[in-house]
Structure 1
């Protein structure tokens, strides 16, 4: 019996709240009075729009390493909107023990450039994470330093924030 009284009281209070919300008077709408005075135009200063988004340069051509120096690096976004990162993963290759260093660079869509690198000893599955953005035009680049000291670009592409396939 006590539960019925409490439930009935709650329903009654909710009914009162609903009725009180529906019975508020509407605000009167004022109609503007016509004016007989002539208005003079006020000069308005014009400004030129400055673009606020930075678009990184279009990815350029890449080169192929000799077969005995070949290495593979995979580039993906972590897809997290709260803490977006671009993850470079070293996947090995025949030159895994010969290549002294792999440099990675991320040009974010806001113009910030982040750098990282893989150094010897390299192992399959080793990662470098750089802070990215939620845009789809973060540009990832990977350069391999050959045993002779040459710098060869093996990867240059935009990294999508999320991939739905």
Structure 2
């Protein structure tokens, strides 16, 4: 799984880099070591936590739809996605409220590992590519391009 993340990240990052000056990423071996160092066990993850995929009734999410991206992965992968998706207003995600509820339910987030910025960068890069090509939106493209540059510098 981690090798797939690294390859996907490198490919998408290179695509973004065709039109924008980006910081140099660490090599694949370093990224893979950092991801492999994440201590969390794999769990079932949805991996597409957008408004279109979550039904909310009375402030509670009783249903989650479109499990086509689901797989067994570290929970931090899902949580990193939620953090990045929360930056898009139309998703209606409150990241801090999510973390609070996740904690109350017994979940923990291991964000002080070298894997955390890589997982966030993976999602930010994907969103920057989406808003550059698939669903062009200059405002969101710039938002995620800035996030990509910030996160890449943290590696």
Q: TM-score, normalised on structure 2?
A: 0.23
Structure with greater helix percent: 2
Indicate the structure with greater strand content. Answer: 1
> Which one scores higher on RCO, CA 8 angstroms, separation ≥ 6?
2
